[in-house]
Structure 1
């Protein structure tokens, strides 16, 4: 038998009578190996005294220098957030691994816990959950939630001031003279969507306007759902003169529907979105929107997670960032005659 310092993964595979790929799966605790085979390979590893350098270092030091980011899907918000996270990781000594559920999370609360289990053990030192459905997770390592579904959470969080952001967007429309202001809402399970609807209602009330229930339609942060909502709103004889959408995807979908129906934006319909993703500036007309600092949210999430992983004192584990209104071409003063 070779000295332990010279034993290779191929030696383990040959002795165990399995492929190198199977040994690698066992070393990294990955799926696809039966319990019996895994136990056999582990016994051979112990007998030969084999140490895979990265795995052995992880087991000794509990450090992989890898941070995991879990997203439900790669859509405009999560893509922009990843850009901020990627910038923040430079020079830290850590690497990023992104795990996308590919959109297979609709109506499945707790998806993060299932996917966290795949990253646990020796794969990552900590994780960032983007729009998670849970407020508590069993992971054994540091976790930060970005824009969580629930309100108060036991997890460290990073989000933006959705309530004041929505108020500023609706206030802009009111100041332009609009009073029939519709809402295309977000996903009802997301706290951000609830706060944006609350801000819409509060700003209307502040202006002395009673919200019309018929002017509040679900968009679910989805382009198709938002387009259907826009058609219902704009097909009314008493259609709204302005529309506030809970995200830019919904706002852009509403503009496309309005144009297809022969309406002019902003002359016949003013539209305000939320997020300020790159598509907002490229829309025709360019979209007035409430900007939440998505890149900074990703950056701050990385900073907070690294502090927690390093055991550093953290002054505030619930970071809330300010929003701002970005005025472009999709809003205008209400015309007295339509």
Structure 2
């Protein structure tokens, strides 16, 4: 038997004193092996820790019983989605493989096609694509999209009510008395970011408050892109009294930029975010935000994917509600507008 590396089917056969063909029959529950012999083979398999490779399994049965969740990179939003999908996979008979494009997807349309071509057919039976840049993927594998760039598509789609959430965030700041409200937008290629921008503008218009173009910036959903833009927004002479950041990471970056400029949150500046990732409750002060049920989005995507693979009824689009989470980063303006 080998003493290094992966345990092979030949190792199992040698230890059990049977042929490789016999071990294969036991593994695949085929007829032709005496029960006493099968028992010995199973004991050896357990003792050696043998597990057939996904590739070998797929070549035999054309199935791996593995589902993929494909993301551009692992960050707070995708990590929460993964938690939800992981909880929902229990009891389905499937395993879950998380795969990242390693950040190469940023601004690189079509990353999901390349990722699916690597994984489908040999490693996964179906996939959840998180914020895919394209939704016309044809890789011979069942796919569900979460928060796609172009909105609902021919693929089953899971998202949250981004428009209503952005309206609620803006109305909250307006109700506190803010009128000079800055907006730190998200990635311009994402449909969810466009809807959050639209919701901000709708709420401002409904309140009869003009949007000051000088108070609108694109933060890009990343700390490294949001923080310098937030600093620029807050350093000007006509700075806003409040900022609605289109995701929590940008909102946290805004709080950090305010601190660098000796502005107190919320005494000098109110900040509200969007997502309710775990980090939002750990800021100083804790961040008021719009919660989208990220883990439930991941769980729903997993359930829809399993339904699609098992011939069940699959919804074309699942939209989950958002909700305001009040913490301590917002207050009435120091000087009423």
TM-score by length of 1: 0.83
2: distance between equivalents of 1:269 and 1:140? Answer: 51
Q: Deviations over 1:143-165 (max 9, x none)?
A: 00111011241111100000000
Q: Deviations over 1:268-327 (max 9, x none)?
A: 10000000001000000000000000000000000000000001122x221100000000
Are the equivalent residues in 1 in contact too, given 2:152–2:317 (CA < 8 A)?
Answer: no
CA 1:175 to 1:110, structure 2 compared with 1: closer, same or farther past 3 Å? same
**Aligned positions of 1:58-207 closer than 5 A:** 58-59=58-59, 61-207=61-207
SS state at 2:182 partner: strand
Q: Which runs of 5+ in 1 are unaligned?
A: 1-7, 12-51
2: distance between equivalents of 1:320 and 1:265? Answer: 33
Structure 1 residue 221: Cα displacement: 0.2
The count of corresponding residues between Structure 1 and Structure 2 is 290
CA 1:242 to 1:125, structure 2 compared with 1: closer, same or farther past 3 Å? same
Match of 1:323 in 2: 322
Are the equivalent residues in 2 in contact too, given 1:128–1:143 (CA < 8 A)?
Answer: yes
Structure 1 residue 264: Cα displacement: 0.8
Greater CA drift, 283-292 or 229-238: 229-238
Q: Deviations over 1:97-117 (max 9, x none)?
A: 111111111221000000100
Match of 2:246 in 1: 246
Are the equivalent residues in 1 in contact too, given 2:154–2:316 (CA < 8 A)?
Answer: no
Are the equivalent residues in 2 in contact too, given 1:304–1:317 (CA < 8 A)?
Answer: no
Q: Deviations over 1:63-119 (max 9, x none)?
A: 211001111000000001100011001111110111111111122100000010011
2: distance between equivalents of 1:53 and 1:109? Answer: 32
CA root-mean-square deviation:
1.7
TM-score by length of 2: 0.83
Are the equivalent residues in 2 in contact too, given 1:71–1:131 (CA < 8 A)?
Answer: yes
1: distance between equivalents of 2:152 and 2:89? Answer: 27
SS state at 2:177 partner: coil
Are the equivalent residues in 2 in contact too, given 1:293–1:323 (CA < 8 A)?
Answer: yes
